Amino acid sequence: MTPELIESPEYGSETDALLKLLADAPAIEDSYEALLLDREDLPDPALAGLPDPRVSLDDLTIELPGRTLAARVYRYATQPRPIVLWLHGGGFIGGHLRDIEYATSGIAANGNVTVVSLNYRLAPEAPYPAGLHDTYETLQWIREHAAELNGDGQIAIGGQSAGAALAAGTCLLARDEGTRLPDRQILCYPTLDLHPDADWHEWYFATDEIPSTAVPLKADSLAGLPPTLMLAAGRDSLRPDAIAYADRLGQAGIPTRLVEYADTMHAFLNFPAALSAGRHAVELIGADLRSTFSAPRA
């Protein structure tokens, strides 16, 4: 599948500058201590941007069997709208909904949808399949509470990096369990294959039994999955995952749109104040959702 290529002269220089800034940050030798400190860090608005002022933000508590999860709801319209369940990235071991508020609020505003951004459980304290079960069961919870969320019955699911993997795995699980699938999945630079050299691999996979809901590229079939928007980054080591999964979805007859941001790094949606590719992608996702749900831009 040939991607739609989004190019801009700024993408390369912006990425170089940000990578240098991140590389110059002091390192902590103890990896678990570094992880805990990273989880406590608040996002820097100079990199992460600020929530879109056009939306309202409300914290939400999701009660699931044996656990309670925190989420945040971003509403743009007062009338019933489609709901988008969104999952942050962080290699299954880090990340927080507060890290991506420019994206989640901007998707709500540009897409004329309601976004539910979820804090799922993280490894190593809660390895696979905890995050996947959180995502899948939250999807069912949203369906059951759609009226309270002012939803209109239509639902999409999406995420970034590890969050995109959870979204893809949830769609596979819903298909295999015979529950209702989302109307669309939006996968931004997902990790969809085994990556044994990744920092998170040992912490996330606490077992040798790794089913396709954890590594969707290993699925025997992708038939029956939702129409898909796939975003890739040209300077991302996970780019092959996005390309391969989009190819397989297309071969399975799933309507799939593959968009690649040239000369851009992984996780570019986390840094929209520094990377114009992140700002462009938020608008693109919003336009895609408006088209999916036939909503005019208010």
Give 297's pLDDT tier (boundaries 50, 70, 90).
very low
Order of all β-strands in the sheet with 4-6:
4-6, 256-265, 228-235, 184-188, 151-160, 81-87, 114-119, 67-75, 56-64
Confidence at residue 168, expressed as pLDDT on a 0 to 100 scale: 98
pLDDT of res. 30 = 63
**Range 78-84 average pLDDT:** 96
Grouping H, G, I as helix, E, B as strand and the rest as coil, residue 68 is: strand
pLDDT band at 28 (very low <50, low <70, confident <90, very high): low
* Type and span of the H or E element at 34: helix 31-40
pLDDT, tens digit, 9 for 90 and up, residues 82-103: 999 999 999 999 999 999 999 9
At 202 the pLDDT is 87
What are the pLDDT digits (tens) for 102-118? 999 999 999 999 999 99
**pLDDT (0 to 100) of residue 216:** 97
CATH architecture of residue range(s) 4-22+35-292:
3-Layer(aba) Sandwich (3.40)
pLDDT band at 29 (very low <50, low <70, confident <90, very high): low
Nearest to 178 by CA among 114, 141, 224, 118: 224
Q: How buried is residue 201: exposed, middle or buried, by Cβ count under 10 Å (0-12/13-18/19+)?
A: middle
Q: Are 182 and 156 in contact (CB under 8 A)?
A: yes
Q: Is the peptide bond before 124 cis (omega within 30 degrees of 0)?
A: yes
Predicted confidence at residue 298, as pLDDT, reads 47
The pTM of the full predicted model, rounded to 2 decimals, is: 0.96
Give residue-wise pLDDT tens across range 147-179.
Answer: 999 999 999 999 999 999 999 999 999 999 999
Return the bridge partners of 253, or none: none
The confidence score (pLDDT) of residue 199 equals 80
* Average pLDDT score over residue span 31-51: 87
